[in-house]
Amino acid sequence: MNHFSRRTLLFLLTPCPLSPIVMTGTPLNQKKKLACMNKTALDLRDRRAGFAALEAETFDLLVIGAGITGCGVARDAALRGLKTALIDSGDIGSGTSSRSSKLIHGGVRYLAQGDITVVRQAANERRAVRRIAPHLARNNPMVVLVRNALSQKKFQAGLWGYEKLGQVSENELHVSWDRDQLKAEEPPVAADEFYGAVVYPEYHTDDGRLTLANARGAAAAGAVIVTYAAARELIFDQDRVTGAVVRGTLPGEELGAAVRARLVINAAGPWVDNLRRLEDKQARSKLQLTKGIHVAVRRDRLPLSRSIVMSALDKRGIFTVPHGQYIYFGTTDTFYAEPTYWPEITSEDVRYLLDSANPYFNIEPLSERDVVSVWAGLRPLLGEEGKKPSEISRRDEIMEGPAGMLTVAGGKLTAYRAMAEQLVNRCEKELNLKPAASVTAEQPLPGGDFSGSLEELIIRVAGELGLTLAEADRAAMLYGREAFEVFADGKGPAAEAAHAVLVEGALTLEDYWARRSARAHFDENGGLDTLEPASRRMAALLGWTDEERSRQIENCRAIRRAEMRAMAGD
């Protein structure tokens, strides 16, 4: 590390667009990648064995839904020794948990509501994610623009209070800028409109991979996980829910299982009401879904180093987030009627974001032509009649149904671990078990077990694997310490796709492309060029015919076309 100048490091760590600086070092080509030696490897290829395992015993918990909520619960339960099964009708994280703004909030936003417990909890939880998965919790400075000295003072006072309450560490305290500093630090911002700024950190994560890491942690602790397995019916025993009938959802598959469990947890995110109605036909809807979209543009088009917090046309808060060579910004907040994996993205959604952001920057206004990717997700919010989407509280809640199924809804990425701990505490009571302490705040997630800082890891990855700094940055963010394993035999989509199948439970090309590699939204042309090499490697591992391989590629292309339709002006 000693031969990198401080300036090189700073350049790397303030996420500016990176020019490819080729690192020298000893590539690890000679190191053998032994996926089976990875103690947290999740290989889900043997579908028959997966369904058989679901039927082989009565579980303490059956968790339905492998989003961040369900994976967090399954990991905590399995680590406490509970016999746990986790199923999902799609892939791990294929619902909302791969479509968020990808921020772990520290609780500053809850200050205004005066809820000190929530502020403290958010700050604690953020620290916990940093501890167990430092690669999935990197500093992301938020620049709040202020129009006058009074606003700046007020915001500073709030942050001082927050920093005390949240025991924020010295190196993460806020700073204030005057207009000249704002101009110097973030040249694209139309600084003349502002008095200055206040800057404080949130953490940036990869939501899909944080979810996946929790699923792998659960499996490593003994949980049985089967993806592409939908709960179609619930099983009742004397008016109590005691399991679910599960069916395989991969095309052409005739697999199923009757899963028995002492407690069933409904963690189906936007779909929780559908499952509640399997328990009680009369159950009234609890959720109000709201859609949020994000758009990404190339970093050289909007060369920011940090997140800029903006006020949208309708005064809602929106913000930019730097991500490698890209900047994304969002989000919208509009009601959406029915749960779906791919909510429709309209040209109005995109226009709203572009029109809201453009006045903040001294650049040629961004247009649809600049948008390189876009994604949409549905917030599973607990409904509050008569309120606008952005006014509905983001609280979470555990609800018990008439036949004993526990539904957990409204949770966020940020507080997933605490919510899971609370739910598993309750499960232990319901099951008359001796309470066991949760260890999820201490036990590292897969890839998170490295010593030294993330910055040091990036440097090591670059040096030892012969990657450019930009490549090493991406590799460390995605894989943490496991980057050495993934790229031991060479870099590129084929190596990543093999790791996705052998270690990360991927069963389709979409699983690799959309949720494990970040390529669908943060790569040239939506990563379409990587589909060919990735699918060839996956075909060999998953036994696909040429026809099946083409179908897998076409599925990804169709997703990309649908997401980008709003940009074509259709």
Considering only 16-24, 47-55, 373-381, 485-493, which stretch makes contact with ligand FAD by CB under 6 A? 373-381
3-state secondary structure at position 223: coil
d(CA 505, CA 214): 12
Contacts of 366 (CB under 8 A, 6+ apart): 297, 301, 302, 354, 357, 358
d(CA 455, CA 476): 9
As measured in angstroms, the least distance from the Cβ of 343 to ligand FAD is 9
Tokens of 476: 């460390």
Residue 230's DSSP bridge partners are: 247
d(CA 230, CA 90): 8
516 binding ligand FAD? (CB under 6 A): no
As measured in angstroms, the least distance from the Cβ of 143 to ligand FAD is 17
As measured in angstroms, the least distance from the Cβ of 274 to ligand FAD is 6
Considering only 33-41, 49-57, 372-380, 498-506, which stretch makes contact with ligand FAD by CB under 6 A? 372-380
CB contact at 8 A, 15 and 305: yes
H or E, element range at 308: strand 307-311
69 binding ligand FAD? (CB under 6 A): yes
Per DSSP bridges, beta strands 175-178 and 196-204 are antiparallel
CB contact at 8 A, 391 and 113: no
As measured in angstroms, the least distance from the Cβ of 74 to ligand FAD is 11
Give, as one character, the DSSP assignment of residue 512: I
Among 41, 85, 413, 488, binds ligand FAD (CB under 6 A): 413
Among 38, 84, 96, 440, binds ligand FAD (CB under 6 A): 96
Q: Could you say which residues in the range 7-66 bind ligand FAD, by CB under 6 A?
A: 64-66
Q: Count of residues binding ligand FAD (CB under 6 A)?
A: 39
Contacts of 263 (CB under 8 A, 6+ apart): 60, 61, 62, 404, 406, 427, 430, 431
Nearer CB in complex with ligand FAD: 21/382: 382
552 binding ligand FAD? (CB under 6 A): no
CB contact at 8 A, 204 and 321: yes
The torsion of the CA quartet 286, 287, 288, 290, rounded to 10 degrees, works out to 170
Exposed/middle/buried for residue 31 (C-beta within 10 Å: 0-12, 13-18, 19+): middle
264 binding ligand FAD? (CB under 6 A): no
d(CA 486, CA 475): 9
Per-residue binding letters, 273-312, with ligand FAD (x by CB under 6 A): --x----------------x--------------------
Considering only 87-95, 122-130, 133-141, 355-363, which stretch makes contact with ligand FAD by CB under 6 A? 87-95
Residue 321's DSSP bridge partners are: 328
Nearer CB in complex with ligand FAD: 95/505: 95
269 binding ligand FAD? (CB under 6 A): yes
CB contact at 8 A, 125 and 415: yes
Q: Could you say which residues in the range 457-496 bind ligand FAD, by CB under 6 A?
A: none
- Give the position of tokens 């016999």: 83
Among 84, 94, 325, 517, binds ligand FAD (CB under 6 A): 94
Compute how many other C-beta atoms are within 10 angstroms of the C-beta atom of residue 264: 29
Among 166, 217, 270, 389, binds ligand FAD (CB under 6 A): 270
Considering only 14-22, 101-109, 193-201, 521-529, which stretch makes contact with ligand FAD by CB under 6 A? 101-109
Nearer CB in complex with ligand FAD: 64/465: 64
CB contact at 8 A, 50 and 88: no
Q: Could you say which residues in the range 305-344 bind ligand FAD, by CB under 6 A?
A: 331
Per DSSP bridges, beta strands 84-87 and 224-226 are parallel
138 binding ligand FAD? (CB under 6 A): no
- The CA–CA distances, whole Å, from 301 to 145, 187, 364, 366 equal 21, 12, 9, 8
3-state secondary structure at position 296: strand
Nearer CB in complex with ligand FAD: 345/475: 345
Give, as one character, the DSSP assignment of residue 22: B
121 binding ligand FAD? (CB under 6 A): no
Among 78, 378, 458, 478, binds ligand FAD (CB under 6 A): 378
Q: What is the CA radius of gyration of the chain?
A: 23
Considering only 27-35, 49-57, 268-276, 366-374, which stretch makes contact with ligand FAD by CB under 6 A? 268-276
Among 75, 80, 99, 130, binds ligand FAD (CB under 6 A): 99
Longest CA–CA span in the chain (Å) reads 71
As measured in angstroms, the least distance from the Cβ of 416 to ligand FAD is 7
Compute how many other C-beta atoms are within 10 angstroms of the C-beta atom of residue 387: 12
As measured in angstroms, the least distance from the Cβ of 118 to ligand FAD is 13
Nearer CB in complex with ligand FAD: 264/462: 264
Nearer CB in complex with ligand FAD: 495/520: 520
223 binding ligand FAD? (CB under 6 A): no
As measured in angstroms, the least distance from the Cβ of 431 to ligand FAD is 22
Q: Could you say which residues in the range 393-412 bind ligand FAD, by CB under 6 A?
A: 411-412
Nearer CB in complex with ligand FAD: 197/419: 419
Residues that bind ligand FAD (CB under 6 A): 64-70, 87-90, 94-97, 99-103, 105, 230-231, 267-271, 275, 292, 331, 377-380, 411-414
